[in-house]
Amino acid sequence: MSIPQAKMELRPLGNTGLKVSSIGFGASPLGSVFGPVAEVDAVATVREAFRQGINFFDTSPYYGGTLSEKMLGKGLKALQVPRSDYIVATKCGRYEEGFDFSAERVTKSIDESLERLQLDYVDILHCHDIEFGSLDQIVSETIPALQKLKQEGKTRFIGITGLPLDIFTYVLDRVPPGTVDVILSYCHYGVNDSTLVDLIPYLKEKGVGVISASPLAMGLLTEQGGPEWHPASPELKSACKAAAAHCKSKGKKITKLALQYSLANKEISSVLVGMSSVSQVEENVAAVKELEGLGMDKETLSEVEAILKPVKNQTWPSGVDQK
């Protein structure tokens, strides 16, 4: 059975040969991380995303204490399309019970993930939030264990994820070229913080694919603002709130503007956005289509950039309670 797929821009991912949709499906909300999501809704959301041309799905055993992987697995299985029609990334090393980047744990982890996802292999296996482990262990123990899993065919490619940008250069400078295929950065390529851009020439030179997540800065660039636990400074929170209010006063949505800003940089292969309902998928895909057609609302963007200028590129320390 084939599902007629809408055309979505596909971008090459480093040297992997994979072509990923410019917008990627962030599956953490399917783990009921931000509120309950029924299985029937999770399955419908995955189906709608695929139908709209999204071919890249990202999850982790950490999201919803393994629930995200299970829900995504059910959604992908229900598509009943060839496995080569979609690209799946999951992670290892971070779990509900804590961090464990040992070779033994990550080797066991992929088998558990594949079972939950109902897959024979994943396309990308990331070490999840490596700043919480020992980076030297990641280099000397975790990545070699992942290379073994790659040889066994359990993952096609290897990635690393985390918040501080210097973790990527630390690891990539210490592993043989071509060992790490992809990095996943979050909260560093959006209207309020675009520091990831400084790292792109280095990553390109190493042939490493770039995925960016959280274009809405973990909720800061939304009308309702970030969650209570958001680690940003009060200044950054209030500037983002002012920017959101400004957009609203003009009848515009800051979420759309922020997403389009992140999507406009073609050096970033895919922008991951969390989705847990058909309407969210539709809204995100509409933002992509509008960007490809009419382009971005440059006037509102420059007004928002002016509001955010005093806090531009201000980040926050990595906190264990972050999703």
Residues 89, 91: Cα–Cα separation, whole Å: 7
3-state SS class at 23: strand
CA 151 distance to own-chain centroid: 25
Residues 208, 204: Cα–Cα separation, whole Å: 6
Known catalytic membership, residue 63: yes
Structure tokens at 19: 């072509």
CA dihedral 3, 6, 8, 12 (to 10 degrees): 30
Burial class (CB in 10 A: 0-12, 13-18, 19+), 7: exposed
Residues 315, 305: Cα–Cα separation, whole Å: 16
Indicate the angle between helix axes 67-79 and 103-117, nearest 10 degrees.
40
* Active-site option among 62, 63, 86, 261: 63
Active site residues: 63
